[in-house]
Structure formats: structure tokens, C-alpha cells
Structure 1
Amino acid sequence: MPAPQVDIFIPCFVDQLYPNTALNMVKVLEAVGCQVHYNPAQTCCGQPAYNAGYVAQSRDVATKFLRDFAGDASRYVVSPSASCVGMVRNSYSSLFADTPQAGACRGVQARTYELTEFLVQVLGITDIPGASLTGKYTYHDSCSGLRECKIREEPRQLLDGVTGLERLEMAETTTCCGFGGTFAVKFEAISVAMAQQKVEHALDTGADYIVSTDVSCLMHLEAYIKKEKLPLRCLHVADVLASGW
């Protein structure tokens, strides 16, 4: 059986702030038999501009995204960010409605996946051989992952297959962490209060780790955790699946 061909999309903030998460995603994809391709010309999906109301500018960036990933229609596009995947899968439909790029948009949308849904739904993999991490984790359902991409069980299935790791569900796991991009800047007090609530729920479980599909959420929660010097670590799901081997 030929190896699945995967084009990886590495979001701006992963590239700049969490490059090891991107490398760990590649490690996991290659371990399950994928042939991974990286287009160094890739930039942003356009989500920051779109969420800030700059629709025309966002469309310009999104048009480049379509060009960057429109090459081989047999390849999957996989990203370690549910929020970016949600942008492509949902917001692009309105951005490119009734435009010459509409057909290309639908083609890219149909083969774009978040990492855990790709592993579980496309490849049928629910555990990564050799993955191990000692401790207890609680899972944060990001707004984009849960509501835009409909991802809930996939990351849990994969994480539950990690040797030495125990899941402890926190209260209100589906509640927003408070990041929301520019929301965290424009409404700082509300944003911090939401992070505090999320972290307190995680601490109540006795978990060692908060794990999620979105480093944007984890970045926000980690800032609060470090400021308060709390005994919690934030890990992206790719970092966990790449542990121990």
C-alpha cells in the first residue's frame, strides 16, 4: 500500500513560538507511515486578519494559502492547529463564495485535517506505538476544535493509548480558555479571569498536564500558570504522542 502523502501546514505562532510541536507532528506522521512534504513558501491562513474584521486583507492571505496547497490533489493537508483548520474549512467558504477561486477552495477544504482527526478518521490509528509519558492529564477542548472541526473523541483516543498516562476530565471542559486571539488584548481582564477558571478546574482534577490540539489556547493558559507559579504543564497533543521514543 503506498504511503499517504501529507503536506503539512505550520501556523505562524507554531513556527515562531513552538517549533518543536511542528517537528513532533512530523515525527508522529512519519512513524505511522506517511510521506511528509513541507512547502517553505507557506505563510498564514489569514485567520488573524479575518477575525479582526479585515476581510479583504484576509482574502489576499487566504488566496496565497490556496496557491501553496493546491498543487497535488492526492495529498492531504495536515496541521497541528484546529483553529487554522477551522478557518480553512469554514471561513474560506464565505471568503471565496462566487469567486474564481471557489473551486480550488473546495478542493483544499476537502483534504485539510487537524492532526488527531487525520490520524483517527483517515488513517484509522488510535494509538502511537512506543508513545509514553508518566502522569495524569486533563484535556482542554478548544473552541475551534470542538465547535468548528467537531473534534472531541479523536485526541482522547490517541492520548489514552499513551503508556503511563491517565486521563482526568475537568469540569466545564468545553468552556473557552479566554484567549480568542485579539480578545485577550482587547478584553484583558475577562480573558485572564477565563484562564484562571480553566486552570482552577484543571488543578481540581489533580492532573500534571493540560493537553489540547491548539497551542494558542495552551500559550494563554501557560502564561497564567507561570505567573501564578502553579504545578501544571501545558502540552500540545503532538508533543505527548512523540514522547518516549
Structure 2
Amino acid sequence: MLNLPKPGTPRVGLLATCLVDLMRPSVGFAAVKLLEDAGCIVDVPSQTCCGQPAYNSGDRATARTLARQVMRAFAPYDYVVVPSGSCGGTLIKHYPEMFADDPGLVREARALADKTHELVSFLTGIMGVTRVEASFDGSVTYHDSCSGLRELNIRAQPRQLLASVRGLDLVEMVDSDVCCGFGGTFAVKYGEVSNAIVDRKADRVVETGAHTLVAGDLGCLMNMAGKLSRRGSPTAVRHVAEILAGMADGPAIGQPSEAEA
């Protein structure tokens, strides 16, 4: 007998993001688990870059081309969910700006923006998730990534769900809402400035004494993990989805897998 979904079950398209796909697929698997546990049907359609690096670098033609591909790929879904505040912010805030001069495409961009959500804010705000069934033995400090915080108002939502994780001790850091220095292409164009910023952020992380640093954007996490590793810090670094899904058993970000060790 087929297990058919109940009528009205939300059909979600997961925009995995380039960094998750290439560098940390476990974040995508964790996102799928969290969405399915919340009662969603989840699909990961064939997809491309959201266009954020091109858009931020001023290459609007390439950004528009990529955005149109994303809009077509995710048109069939009730919701689009992204485990990244920066990529989510691109779809929600910047796609309508990209096509402001085209009445047809701007309607398409706004329709996509209206149904797009960052992962944790979707779980709490749309699906009504107030707690997760996960455990984590240790202390955690949370970094508020710039795009998620300033473009999408993501601050309380991850903390609410982290507080429900059995065994987890959430320790707030000073200046948790201050940039880590990554900023995508900013870190490439202004390497010395970026390095100075992440140096200060690493100081704040270490001061907490927390065993693990978590955030909702993989670019920020990779940047901070690299700095902490170069300092010889034992602080583990993980995406918040991995903690909430109970999938934090493997190597942390920046640590080699058993096959690579």
C-alpha cells in the first residue's frame, strides 16, 4: 500500500547553495531531515548558483541569467527553503531589484521572493516548530551572520530551537552580531581588512569557552573555521542545521574526514 502524503502537505524545493553542494553536503542532508520531520515533502531540483557573487560584484547580466534559471527551477514548489541567510536574502531582497525594469520578470521574481525562506525561520515561522528532537553534549556559541540578521531578521529563531536540544549549553558571545569578515568577494578584494575582522571575531569566539561555534551561513563558518584552525584552537565549527537535526557526529567544518586524515 502506498504511503501518500496528506492533502495540503507543503511541497518544498530546497536550494542547497553552491557551498553546501561543493563543500558541506551534510548541511543539505540535515536540512532535508529537519523539513521532513516538520511535515514537508522535500525535493532538491537541478539548480545553479543563485547569482549572489555576480550581483555583489556588479555583474548584473550574469546575475540575471542565473536568477532566471533559479526562478524556473523552483516555480513548481509551494515554498523555497535555503540553509543560508545570504543566498536567501538574494532571492528575497535582490531578485525583485534585478528585474525592476521588466514587468513580466519582476512579477516572477516577486512570486519567488514571497515563498522563499531561510531554513530556521521557515521551521519556526511557517511550520510552527518550537523544538527539535536532538541531543548535543557540549557548549555552543552562535554567530549572527550579516545577511540573515540584517536582511531577514534572523536572530531569535535559531536560539529558540537550539535551546530545545538536549544537553546543549548555549553561551552567548560578545558582539555575536558583528561581521566575521567574509562577505563573499569582500574577503578576496580586501584580504587584509577581512583578516583583521575575522581575527577579532575569533577572539570573541574563544572568550566564550564554548566547545562549538555555530551559524546559519556556510561561508561565514568556513572563514571562521579557517582562522580558528590556523590559531590552533580546538573550537569545532558546525552549521546550525547539523546540530538541530542531530547530525553532528562527523568531522566539523575544516576538519578532515576519516578518509582524508
TM range (shorter): over 0.9
Give distance in 1, aligned partners of 2:164 and 2:187.
34
Whether the 8 Å contact between 2:13 and 2:74 is mirrored in structure 1 is: yes
Whether the 8 Å contact between 1:179 and 1:191 is mirrored in structure 2 is: yes
Corresponding position of 2:66:
61
1:86-121 CA-to-partner distances (Å, cap 9, x unmatched) read: 011111121011312111111110110001000000
Corresponding position of 1:29:
35
Per-residue deviation, 1:70:
1.2
Give distance in 1, aligned partners of 2:113 and 2:210.
36
Corresponding position of 1:219:
222
Does structure 1 residue 113 correspond to structure 2 residue 117? Answer: yes
Per-residue deviation, 1:175:
0.5
Corresponding position of 1:50:
55
Corresponding position of 2:257:
none
| AA aligned opposite 1:127 | R
Per-residue deviation, 1:185:
1.3
Give distance in 2, aligned partners of 1:18 and 1:49.
22
Does structure 1 residue 188 correspond to structure 2 residue 191? Answer: yes
What secondary structure is seen at the aligned counterpart in 2 of 1:101? Answer: helix
| AA aligned opposite 1:68 | A
Per-residue deviation, 1:71:
2.1
**Match for 1:3 among 9, 32, 36?**
9
Per-residue deviation, 1:206:
1.0
Alignment of 1:57-206 (within 5 A): 57-72=62-77, 75-99=78-102, 100-129=104-133, 131-206=134-209
Whether the 8 Å contact between 2:30 and 2:247 is mirrored in structure 1 is: no
TM-score normalized with structure 1 length: 0.95
| AA aligned opposite 1:179 | F
1:119-175 CA-to-partner distances (Å, cap 9, x unmatched) read: 00001112112x010111111000001001111100110111111111111111111
Whether the 8 Å contact between 2:214 and 2:240 is mirrored in structure 1 is: yes
Give distance in 2, aligned partners of 1:35 and 1:244.
20
TM-score normalized with structure 2 length: 0.89
Give the number of equivalent residue pairs: 241
Give distance in 2, aligned partners of 1:69 and 1:118.
16
What secondary structure is seen at the aligned counterpart in 1 of 2:42? Answer: strand
What secondary structure is seen at the aligned counterpart in 2 of 1:166? Answer: strand
Structure with larger RCO (C-alpha < 8 A, sep 6+)? 1
Corresponding position of 1:231:
234
Per-residue deviation, 1:244:
6.3
Per-residue deviation, 1:184:
0.9
Corresponding position of 2:210:
207
Seq. identity, %: 43
Give distance in 2, aligned partners of 1:109 and 1:91.
9
Give distance in 1, aligned partners of 2:188 and 2:239.
23
